[in-house]
Structure 1
Amino acid sequence: MSGGRVAHVTLKGPSVVKEIIIGITLGLAAGGLWKMHHWNEQRKSRAFYDLLEKGEISVVAEE
């Protein structure tokens, strides 16, 4: 009496190419988000200095 053979999934080690592709993808996504944040902060600074130069705002407290 022999029982039916069950096909088990054999566990393999990590795929190096797959790990590299996932790492590159995550790195590019994080870099893109960081760059968008940097551009947003740069835009805010540029708008502040443009208003300062036009005289619409001042950094000196009014008395």
Structure 2
Amino acid sequence: MVGVVAYYKGPSIIKEIIYGVGIGLMAGGLWKMHHWNYQRKTKEFYELLDRGDITVVIQED
């Protein structure tokens, strides 16, 4: 019977780089989607303000 010898070879540099790039791209994509959503909300706000549908003036009693 042949014995199985398990030993630790160390980290695979290529795998680590690929994992890092993948995680970085996913995080960057999420940040970019957040930024686009914030831009859309800001643009809608200013469009409503320009049309006169909303106002930012506080009414005094």
Alignment TM-score, normalising by the size of structure 1: 0.87
Q: Within 5 Å, which residues of 2 pair with 1:12-51?
A: 12-51=9-48
Structure showing greater radius of gyration is 1
Paired positions, count: 60
The 2-side partners of 1:9 and 1:62 are apart by: 76
Structure 1 moving runs of 4+ over 6 Å: none
Consecutive unaligned residues in structure 1, runs of 5 or more: none
Alignment TM-score, normalising by the size of structure 2: 0.89
Identity %: 57
Consecutive unaligned residues in structure 2, runs of 5 or more: none
Q: What RMSD over aligned residues (CA atoms) do the two structures have, in Å?
A: 1.2
